Amino acid sequence: MEKKIYVINLRGEKEPFSFKKVFQSARNVGASKEIAFEIAKEIEKKIYPGISTSQIFDKIFELLLIKSPHSAIKFNLKRAMEKLGPTGYPFEKFIGKIFEAEGFKAETNLFIPGASKVKYEIDFLARKGRVMYIGECKFRHEKGGRVDLQVALANYARFLDIERGRFFNSGLKYKSILVTNAKFTSEAIKYSNYVGVELLGWKYPQGKGLEKLIERNQLYPITILPSVTHSLAKILIEQKIVLVKDVFSKKFKKIKIPRKQKIQREAEILLGIK
């Protein structure tokens, strides 16, 4: 019987190395079964006790970049979301774009009074038909960050005060939604489900998480491209170049930045443009 090798996850906890997880992570971004198996075998040979899952991630990315460039760029999505920071403002704009792609009319960064006369900063409103979402975004740039029960409690309390106020049209149905680029704790999920608050985060709801909506609508953040460094990301986001598809806009063509052609080529690879 082979001895288990324990790795260190993002929360600093030990967990056994999983060949299956490595294989599946490569498959999830479009690598073929053959390539995913090759990568998992190579990673299995190179790991050692105490290696971090972040280091394993880097090794998978490097191998995908050689064997399947399109898959490699997609594999970078979670880190790309973290690079939208350090503030949550670009993330709120990004989420507004996702809701628009799903058929909603979205507005971001509004101030709305509650019944208590307190004015709340609302990250976004998203309306489709008679349904209006009052959205709260919680951006996490630290690895392994979570949205916990305290955040869920504060979000619902704010929603109740706004709902009881007189700002909105009574003919609409209002819903609260809490959105994050990270994961929710089990307590935050239990409480939000109990009070009827919808959640959208990384791999939540299962099979319908944020990463699925991004892929379905090809709304990849500009930070997913390997050639977009932190400094370049800041310049591009300030110019409202937030999505990969913005690389093909007139605005991007006018911007003077290094690696411009490389960024465009990576965007073409990701979006399947020949």
Lookup: tokens for 205 = 């709801």
Per residue in 153-164, pLDDT (tens digit) is 999 999 999 988
Instruction: Residue 198: name the closest of 136, 273, 124, 149 by CA.
Output: 136
Give the count of domains, the chain: 3
Select from 75, 98, 117 the last residue of a domain.
75
Are residue 14 and residue 46 in the same domain, yes or no? yes
Same domain, 94 and 202: yes
The length of the chain in residues reads 274
Whether residues 14 and 117 share a domain: the answer is no
Each residue of 179-220: pLDDT tens digit?
999 999 999 999 999 999 999 999 999 999 999 999 999 999
Can you tell me the distance from the alpha carbon of 258 to that of 262, in angstroms, rounded to the nearest whole number?
9
Whether 113 and 189 map to the same domain: the answer is yes
- For tokens 């706004």, the residue is 162
Tokens for 240, please give them: 């409202």
Contacts of residue 205, defined as CB under 8 A and 6 or more positions apart, other chains included, come to 199
Same domain, 142 and 206: yes
| Report field, pTM of the whole predicted structure over 0.75 | yes
Q: In this prediction, what percent of the chain has a pLDDT beyond 90?
A: 78
Q: What is the pLDDT of residue 242?
A: 86
103, 129: one domain? yes
In a domain, residue 1? The reply is: no
What is the C-alpha to C-alpha distance for residues 186 and 196, in angstroms, rounded to an integer? 15
**Mean pLDDT across the stretch 88-110?**
90
Residues 213 and 233 both lie in one domain: no
At residue 86, the pLDDT reads 64
- Which residue, 196, 217, 238, sits at the end of a domain? 217
Same domain, 158 and 187: yes
Helix axes 149-164, 186-195, angle to 10 degrees: 20
Q: Is the peptide bond before 86 cis (omega within 30 degrees of 0)?
A: yes
| Under 8 Å between Cβ of 130 and 173 | yes
Residue 2's pLDDT band, with cuts at 50, 70 and 90, is low
22-47: buried (b, 16+ CB within 10 Å) or exposed (e) per residue? Answer: bbebbbebbbeeebbbbbbebbeeeb
Query: Domain range spanning residue 168?
Result: 82-217
CATH number of the domain enclosing 195: 3.40.1350.10
Closest to 57 measured CA to CA, from 95, 28, 33: 28
pLDDT at 84: 80
Q: What pLDDT is attached to residue 87?
A: 62
Confidence of residue 88 (pLDDT cuts 50, 70, 90): low
